Structure 1
Amino acid sequence: MGNKIHFIDRIRLALAVSIAKSITFLVRSLRLGAASVLPGSLARRIEPRILQLLSQQVKNGIIIIAGTNGKTTTSLLLRSILERRGYSIAHNSTGANLENGLATALIESTNILGALNVDYAILEVDENIVPKVLKPLQPRIILCLNLFRDQLDRYGEVDTISKRWTKVISTLPETTVVIPNADDPTLSHLGQQLDQRVLFFGLNEPEHYLEAIPHAVDSIYCPRCGASLNYQGVYLSHLGDFTCPSCSFSKSKPTLESREWGQILVGLYNKYNTLAAATAAKELGVDEITIRDTIDNFQAAFGRAEELSVDGKRVRILLSKNPVGTNETIRVVTQSNDKTTLLVLNDRTPDGTDVSWIWDVDTEKLVERGGTLVVSGDRVYDMALRLRYSEKTAESKVNLIVEEDLRQAIATALEHTPANETLHILPTYSAMLEVREVLTGRKIL
């Protein structure tokens, strides 16, 4: 800590960290959860500047990963790449991405006095609190993955968030590296406005264009002049290749050629996650062989295309918490030959209490292919109704099973899954944690 921290601040920091570590030990010993939030909450009450005091001790800098979808997978991939090079990493791996979770993650890597000895800290950050944490964290790299509508009861529209991001990022040192998604018009425009060093990631693979722009699209207007963008094609939602017919705005050029890179896991959205992490890793000086080898051997984070074996059958969990993410997981399901799917819809705080977003999901594509659809969760009947409205004819080929009890729903879905097929489970966030607890017998949070 040296003389960066005054004596009285060291005492307060040590007290905050020691209490947080004690709480962590107690919660985990009693098997009450992963203690990913409470320790940081208590520590911040004792020392409100704890994020600043800890982050300034990270040797090579803080890497922030922000966006609506893909944060956990991208951060885990980047962590895996850096660890393969021998670096030590602090990381909020449980997905607790609000201020208390960030504090907890940094505290986890300190000693009892609050001394933090790591090379990098990789912090996935909820898009709504990015403006609050940039100044105390002073990140070296900011990865901006995407902005979609997500939990509108808490966040509001994407243009509001992007304007707040731009305002705060523009105040950071010019040495800060910002890596936005070139295929997202809002983020492409954000990067074009900054004085900091900006790199872009994105796709250049027209063969993966969707047949049409989905109706769950969020941002198809020029962020500079407001005109409707001309899309050569879209990859998912509003992410694609675009130009503005009324001004000079167009898609930024990605740093990496996407065709030259493979991807982690299934789904085109994971190609974006791969390119984001690879772009950041190359900026940090990691050699390409290490990056590619890590990509080839990557294992999924919990709930993110995670695959399990249950009673001799394959189960794949695909987190589905908003229209864009769910449309993409449905694309993964419909591109497979598997005919049994379990959808679990909850409306708790981590999910967002407004579930009207399910009417923006292209569930028709799931229903059209037939097979067995099992639904469960707190809002099981909302999801069942959405699926019924997706049936275009009275002679539907879908076997729709409504089961309020989650354990029974999982058991039923497994019974309907042939031994040579995979059961796909599409849960919202809190539902994903419950599903994993049932399947693995252990809690995540």
Structure 2
Amino acid sequence: MPENKGTDVGKNINLIDRVKLGVAVSAAKSVTFAVRTLRLGAASVLPGSIARKIEPRLLELLSQQVKNGVILIAGTNGKTTTSLLLREILERKGFKVAHNSTGANLENGLVTALMESTDAFGGLNVDYAILEVDENIVPKVLTPIQPKAILCLNLFRDQLDRYGEVDTISKRWTKAISTNSPNTTVISNADDPTLSYLGQQLSQKVVFFGLNEPNKYLEEIPHAVDSIYCPNCGHSLDYEGVYLSHLGEFSCPQCGFKRSKPALNSSEWSQVLVGLYNKYNTLAAATVAIELGIDEATVRDTIPTFQPAFGRAEELQIDGKRVRILLSKNPVGTNETIRVVTESNDKTTLLILNDRVQDGEDVSWIWDVDTEALVQRGGTLVVSGDRVYDMALRLRYSDVYDSKVNLIVEEDLKKAISTALEHTKPDETLHILPTYTAMLDVREVLTGKKIR
């Protein structure tokens, strides 16, 4: 157990800032108490919003109190699973960790998460803070946070109506990180060309993670591929093999750019949860933990006992039947959850498509998903959600071989879940593939509880 040295709030903060910090935190804690008492939500964003109006520098003032530093986790897919696994590893060693576990990953959510661990005067007594950060705000938060480590998981197309293409984000990341503290360690995905290149351009210490298991290569590059061109010269990359989307073993025949070497041998590591994408999450968390000085034995011992967050391959028992929920919010993620389904012997799948702000209002991405693999295997497909007919149409167009799939369209979510359970045999698993807000709706139906 690490020594608890306590927190001296005033050590690096002047009197005026200390007073404003205390007022802001006290106001936020009052709001949190009221919201939760009245059961209006999880209070994961509003307290931070109010506190930042009182003290705009709150993110900086709180971050500088974290004893061993802040770890930022950014990327399109896998932030929640990776951060939770890393948190469990650190807590197993006795460290106190602050974490935005609700998934509120914009500035107000980050501030709210840090304030959860403060005293009434704004004193923050934690060893580490793990903050999942929306990929679009990484450049905005680097300066106030001055992180000890930045984990760059992956970059895929996600909510193009908000973010744009991956090249735009990667260039902004590179510019922001390169001008940040030289003491920051960057952990980056070697198998993602844009992030492998990003890491090679930085002056800070960079450590890579990735797979080295050719037996897991896809037979061909999938339709939902985002970045198969060299980030250095623009020439088409040569791939020895692809694991998912544009992630794989690559090199550029034009300029010589090639994949970076991962720090860990992936074939020697078990993975957390199902799906190849969770092997990446496992390796990412393990690489960060070892870089922080955690012994490898502790990391390995933590992986088999890890419990996922709701919707991230979590399994439930409902009416005596097993239900597995696989968040599916963009082309790459959905292709991977479909791979999990098609590699099983289970015959019933429920797909739920919403188009709310948190999902991204543009649902055209479903036409980049390889739903043909799901349809061609047959069985029963139940569809629901705000855009149920868009999903039903996509599946119908996928039935190019007259697969005899049983397609059931049900607008009402409760009825859709009930229907899917009825078609699930006792010895099989019902796979539910929801977008983000649909996942929250499923939680409320299945457990009677909301996340926020």
Give the alignment's TM-score, normalised by structure 1. Answer: 0.99
- Residue number among 408, 412, 416 corresponding to 1:409 in the alignment: 416
Match of 1:117 in 2: 125
Deviation at 1:3, TM superposition (A): 3.3
Which residue of the partner structure matches residue 56 of structure 1? 64
The equivalent position to 1:169 in structure 2, one of 177, 191, 196, is 177
Equivalences for 1:204-283 in 2 at 5 Å? 204-283=212-291
The structural deviation recorded for 1:340 is 0.4
Question: What SS does the corresponding residue of 2:381 show, helix, strand or coil?
Answer: strand
- Given candidates 417, 436, 452, the residue that maps to 1:429 is 436
Confirm or deny that 1:6 pairs with 2:20.
no
Deviates more, 1:283-292 or 1:322-331: 283-292
Partner of 1:156: 164
What residue in structure 1 maps to residue 404 of structure 2? Answer: 397
Aligned-pair distance for 1:440?
0.6
> For residues 376 and 38 of structure 1, what CA distance do their matches in structure 2 show?
31
In the TM superposition, residue 31 of structure 1 has moved relative to its aligned partner by: 1.1
Structure 1 residue ranges without an equivalent (≥5): none
- Distance, in Å, in 1 between the alignment partners of 2:356 and 2:166 is 22
Q: Does 1:418 align with 2:433?
A: no
What amino acid is aligned across from residue 415 of structure 2 in structure 1? Answer: Q
Alignment partner of 2:209: what SS?
Answer: coil
Unaligned runs of 5+ in 2: 1-8
1:443 to 427, 433, 450: 450
Alignment of 1:6-405 (within 5 A): 6-393=14-401, 395-405=402-412
Query: Does the residue aligned with 2:208 lie in a helix, a strand or coil?
Result: coil
Note the alpha carbon deviations across 1:27-82, whole angstroms, 9 max, x for none.
11111111111111111111111000000000000000000000000000000000
Deviations, residues 70-120 of structure 1 (Å, cap 9, x unaligned): 000000000000000000000000111011110100010001110000000
**AA in 2 matched with 1:26:** A
CA distance in 2, matches of 1:347, 1:340: 24
Percentage identity across aligned positions?
79
Tell me the distance in 2 between the aligned counterparts of 1:87 and 1:325: 32
CA RMSD of aligned residues (A): 0.6
Residues 394-439 of structure 1, C-alpha deviations (whole Å, 9 max, x = no match): x432110000010110011111101110000000000000001110
Task: State the 4+ residue runs in structure 1 displaced beyond 6 angstroms.
Answer: none
Distance 1:22 1:303 in 2: 30
* TM-fit CA distance, 1:241: 0.1
User: SS where residue 286 of structure 1 aligns?
Assistant: coil
For 2:427 and 2:439, the matched residues in 1 are separated by: 24
What is the identity, as a one-letter code, of the residue corresponding to 2:307?
Q
Amino acid at match of 1:339: K
